[in-house]
Structure 1
Amino acid sequence: MTTPETPSVTYIETRKGEEFSELILQDLEIALNLAGARPLKGHAWPSFWDVFGRSFAKLRLTPPRLSGAKTTSIIGLMGLAERQLHPYGALHEIVPFVWDCWPSREAEWRDFIRRYALKRIAFTSSQAAEFWSAEFPDIEILWLPEAIDEALYLPGPSLSSRSTCVLEIGRRYAAGHDMVRETLERLGRQHRFKDPLSPMVFLPTRADLISALQASQALLCYPGAVSHPDGRTGHWESMTHRYLEAVATKTLIVGHVPQEMTTLFGFCPGVNVSLSELPDLLKTLTDSPHLFQDRVDRAHSRLLEVGTWEVRVQQLMRFARASD
């Protein structure tokens, strides 16, 4: 008696520019390749297919339903990047792994899911997965958190050896930023952040970002639901790649840790702190950074178990194979 062959899985290589988010997609695709998934290379005419895909989405067209068995193909989607599905959308059973699905574009996501007759979708946001599971009970929907390449984001030295007290990157929570800036000025500690008046790009490369994290005791982190509650994320909060970057480099997360990150790790890997408590926390971090070393060490150990791309792509491929 022969053993049935394990269904093959392919993945669509997305067309990339120079956005940082596209580096994360690249990390996913490298991990899928290492795990044995077969790449579908970018088409020979990327400009044509980008224009075609954008027009297809704008006109809300439905891809043809071709008969016959289809190969399962995973694709990482940063938001509604429907253009990336072409020319493969009608030829394969697409399993999207979705970042940046927010309530502000609910109608567009609903239309996208229906037009492509998706059978399985994985979302990096647990709240997105919960919402769409209720909306489409006949579709298999899975929460798969973001992940990180731990071989790129290496731990920095002990917290006591780091020169920067707090690093801020990306979206700014004004109230938190102001409180940290005022406190660290009084303490005479270094606070690194992008100067909005400077023409220079702050931390222009991933190597620059990693070096800055490794030299910082803490990373100020707030989800969009806290920093910009009227923005695109609405009340949904999610563990973004920034949180994992802090854990991977053994940098203390300070601010607001999303509940889904606590669920993933089994404990809170950072410090949830109110604005009024921030000054005292930063004073303690300045005087006794060693008090937080066990926390970042424990978080890093757990990351290697639940938050690497090696772990995540195995989960994603099992999910995709179930549709064959």
Structure 2
Amino acid sequence: MIFKINLIRKIGDDAYLDCFDEIETCIKKKDGYNIKIIPSKDSSFKNVILLFLNFINFINLMKFKNNKISFSILMGASFGSLIPYVFFFSKNFVYMYDAWPRYHKTIAKTAKILNIKMIFFSSYKATNLFNEMNSGIKGIWVPEGINIEEYHYEPFISKKIDVIEFGRKYEIYHNKILSALKMNNYSHFFEKNKGEVVFRSRLEFINGLSQSKISICIPSNITHPERAEGISSMTLRYLQSMASKCLIVGILPEEMKMLFDYMPLVEIDLDNASSQILDILANYESYIPLIERNYKEIQKFHTWDVRSEKILLNIINESAY
């Protein structure tokens, strides 16, 4: 039996859409599914429509009993890209990144308006907090994954970038290692000015990461605690670093402790940050077994091929009712 799913695909220039692409690419390849892509843009007009529907406490009266299914990927409570397509399907499902607790009531209310049956959250804690509201919308935890075949790595002896910090920086730590790396002539790539990307394209980013020895990874609850509200989840940067055979130096997110039965990174020593990073670089070869173990671990357990099985199985089971 072929299972048909309408994938409402957000299009635009947002950098985070690369994350969406990895999930969508995997789902489109799945055997036994007929995936129809529906491209859709978000817009201020669509968001005004959503605000209006929320204001009047609109209930979707167009409850189509056509058993048609839609799936989409969202960044937080940004539902605009689902309009108008979501109204024409009777069973709607979404995968959601950055579902910060302060938005949970809005997410639940909007999900009811849009006839969304289930939300797959990238964060374990966010899932639990959402489900505690008993909103009638079921939350399921599906951690972030990776399409490992989209990444590559250079041999350790050929890696030219000693330390890379991509995305948000942990300023306290960054400032402690900056001078030490420079004084010892180590190659250090990072965001020079706020909002300025380290690499201009995804291809440059993938190539740059493949050439990096150490990747600094810090969870959002440490770098931006006011935004994260205690959510400490494994983000794609951890998996991207492992797929590129970088040694991760940083802080282990709480939720990652449930996903790995060993310590997959080197925890930073903030009091001795500069001497620690120099020591790691001087003894880099001793960390190669950990790097190789991480690569095998994500190959086996943390790909989107594995994660999407859970998503699709839940969609099938929920759609049976």
Deviation at 1:13, TM superposition (A): 3.3
Q: Gaps spanning 5+ residues in structure 1: where?
A: none
Q: Does 1:294 align with 2:289?
A: yes
1:169 maps to which residue? Answer: 166
Q: SS at the partner of 2:262?
A: coil
2:65 maps to which residue? Answer: 68
Cα RMSD of the aligned pairs, angstroms, is 2.2
Which AA in structure 2 matches 1:150?
I
Percent identity over the alignment is 22
Deviation at 1:114, TM superposition (A): 3.5
Deviations 1:111-131 (A, max 9, x none): 223333533211011111111
Residue range with higher mean Cα deviation, 135-144 or 123-132: 135-144
Deviation at 1:323, TM superposition (A): 0.9
With a CA cutoff of 8 Å and minimum separation of 6, indicate the structure with the bigger relative contact order: 1
Write the distance in 2 (CA, Å) between the matches of 1:11 and 1:279: 51
Write the distance in 2 (CA, Å) between the matches of 1:254 and 1:104: 30
When residues 11 and 26 of structure 1 are mapped into structure 2, their CA distance, relative to the original with a 3 A threshold, is farther
1:33 maps to which residue? Answer: 28
Deviations 1:190-209 (A, max 9, x none): 11112118x97530111111
198, 202, 213: which one pairs with 1:202? 198
72, 76, 81: which one pairs with 2:78? 81
Which consecutive segments of 4 or more residues in structure 1 shift more than 6 A? none
1:228 maps to which residue? Answer: 224
Write the distance in 1 (CA, Å) between the matches of 2:313 and 2:213: 37
Q: SS at the partner of 1:89?
A: helix
Which AA in structure 2 matches 1:33?
K
- Contact 2:148/2:299, CA 8 A, preserved across alignment: yes
TM-score by length of 2: 0.89
Deviation at 1:267, TM superposition (A): 2.2
Deviation at 1:285, TM superposition (A): 1.8
1:136 maps to which residue? Answer: 134
1:266 maps to which residue? Answer: 261
When residues 69 and 266 of structure 1 are mapped into structure 2, their CA distance, relative to the original with a 3 A threshold, is farther
150, 153, 156: which one pairs with 2:151? 153
Deviation at 1:137, TM superposition (A): 6.8
When residues 69 and 13 of structure 1 are mapped into structure 2, their CA distance, relative to the original with a 3 A threshold, is closer
Q: SS at the partner of 1:135?
A: coil
Write the distance in 1 (CA, Å) between the matches of 2:120 and 2:22: 17
2:244 maps to which residue? Answer: 249
Deviation at 1:167, TM superposition (A): 0.3
Q: Does 1:57 align with 2:55?
A: no
Deviation at 1:289, TM superposition (A): 0.5
Tell me the matched-pair count. Answer: 313
Q: Gaps spanning 5+ residues in structure 2: where?
A: none
Write the distance in 2 (CA, Å) between the matches of 1:115 and 1:42: 20
- Contact 1:239/1:260, CA 8 A, preserved across alignment: yes
Q: Does 1:18 align with 2:23?
A: no
